[in-house]
Amino acid sequence: MAQLDPASILGPGGAVARRLPAYELRSQQLEMAQAVARAIGRPGHLIVEAGTGVGKSFAYLVPSILAAVEQKKKIVISTHTIALQEQLLRKDLPFLRSVMPQEFSAVLVKGRSNYISLRRLDVAGARATGTFQQQEEFDQLGEIKLWANRTTDGSRSDLDFRPLPGVWDAVQSENGNCLGRDCPRNKACFYFQARRRVWSANLLIVNHALFVTDLALRAAGFGMLPKYDVAIFDEAHTLEAVAGEHMGLQVSNIGVDITLARLYNDRSGKGLLSFHRLQQAMDQVQNARMAADDFFEQVARWHLRHGQNFNGRVRRPVDWPDTLCEELHKLATAIGEGSAKVENPEHRIELTAAQGRCSALADQIASWTGQSAADQVYWVELEERARPRIRLASAPLDVGPSLRKLLFDQVPTCVLTSATLCVGTPPRFDFLKSRLGLTAAETHALGSPFDYPNQVTIHLPRNLPDPSAQPQDFERVAIKAIAHYLERTQGKAFVLFTSYKMLDAAARALTPWLVERNIALFAQSDGLPRSKMVEAFKADVNSVIFGADSFWQGVDVPGEALSNVIIVRLPFSVPSHPLLEARLEDIRNRGGNPFVEYQVPEAVIKLKQGFGRLIRTRTDRGIVVILDPRVMTKPYGRAFLGSLPDCPRIVEQIDLPGSRG
Same domain, 97 and 208: yes
The 10 Å Cβ neighbour count of residue 236 is 24
Q: What does the pLDDT read at residue 659?
A: 53
Q: What does the pLDDT read at residue 3?
A: 52
Q: Is residue 486 part of a domain?
A: yes
CA 433 to chain CA centroid, nearest Å = 20
Q: What does the pLDDT read at residue 128?
A: 85
pLDDT tens per residue across span 360-400: 999 999 999 999 888 899 999 998 877 889 999 999 999 99
Integer-rounded Cα Rg, in Å, for the chain is 27
Element (H or E) spanning 275, and its range?
A: helix 272-275
Residue 554 contacts residue 584 (beta carbons within 8 Å): no
Same domain, 626 and 537: yes
Same domain, 473 and 353: no
The 10 Å Cβ neighbour count of residue 20 is 11
Same domain, 334 and 437: no
> Among 349, 334, 338, 339, which Cα is nearest to 176's?
349
Same domain, 437 and 415: yes
Q: Is residue 657 part of a domain?
A: no
Q: What does the pLDDT read at residue 312?
A: 93
Cross-strand partners of 394: 249, 378
Q: What is the DSSP letter of 3?
A: P
Q: What does the pLDDT read at residue 73?
A: 94
pLDDT tens per residue across span 40-53: 999 999 999 999 88
Q: Is residue 169 part of a domain?
A: yes
Same domain, 294 and 333: yes
Same domain, 328 and 388: yes
Same domain, 466 and 439: no
Residue 87 contacts residue 55 (beta carbons within 8 Å): no
How many whole angstroms separate alpha carbon 450 and alpha carbon 55? Answer: 12
∠ CA 310-314-318, rounded to 5° = 130
The residues near 626 (Cβ < 8 Å, ≥ 6 apart) are 458, 459, 460, 567, 570, 607, 640
Q: Is residue 1 part of a domain?
A: no
How many whole angstroms separate alpha carbon 377 and alpha carbon 315? Answer: 8
How many whole angstroms separate alpha carbon 186 and alpha carbon 396? Answer: 39
Same domain, 422 and 540: no
pTM over 0.95: no
Q: What are phi and psi of 380, to 5 degrees?
A: -115, 135
Q: Is residue 658 part of a domain?
A: no
Q: What is the DSSP letter of 404?
A: I
Q: What are phi and psi of 386, to 5 degrees?
A: -50, -50
> Among 153, 34, 51, which Cα is nearest to 449's?
51
Q: Which long-range contacts (CB under 8 A, 24 or more apart) does 296-301 make?
A: 296/253, 296/256, 296/390, 299/380, 299/382, 299/390, 299/392, 300/382, 300/388, 300/390
> Among 602, 615, 613, 614, which Cα is nearest to 643's?
602
Domain extent, residue 31, equals 7-105+201-242+399-445
Residue 311 contacts residue 578 (beta carbons within 8 Å): yes
Given 387, 422, 445, the domain boundary residue is: 445
The residues near 397 (Cβ < 8 Å, ≥ 6 apart) are 375, 376, 377, 582, 583, 586
The 10 Å Cβ neighbour count of residue 536 is 14
**In 26-151, where do the E strands start and end?**
46-49, 75-79, 106-108
The 10 Å Cβ neighbour count of residue 623 is 19
How many whole angstroms separate alpha carbon 541 and alpha carbon 139? Answer: 41
Q: Is residue 661 part of a domain?
A: no
Q: What are phi and psi of 403, to 5 degrees?
A: -65, -40
Q: Is residue 278 part of a domain?
A: yes
Q: What are phi and psi of 642, to 5 degrees?
A: -70, -15
Same domain, 368 and 285: yes
What amino acid is encoded at 355 in this protein? Q
Question: What's the CATH code of the domain at 31?
Answer: 3.40.50.300
> Among 24, 31, 34, which Cα is nearest to 51's?
31
What amino acid is encoded at 421 in this protein? L
Same domain, 461 and 553: yes
- The 3-state secondary structure of 212-273, one letter per residue: HHHHHHHHCCCCCCCCCCEEEECCHHHHHHHHHHHCCEEEEHHHHHHHHHHHCECCCCECHH
Residue 58 contacts residue 34 (beta carbons within 8 Å): no
Domain count, the chain: 4
State which residues of the chain have pLDDT below 50: 1-2, 660-661
Residue 238 contacts residue 141 (beta carbons within 8 Å): no
Same domain, 56 and 178: no
Note the residue count of the chain. Answer: 661
Query: Pairing mode, if any, of strands 106-108 and 203-207?
Result: parallel
Q: Is residue 263 part of a domain?
A: yes
Residue 264 contacts residue 271 (beta carbons within 8 Å): yes
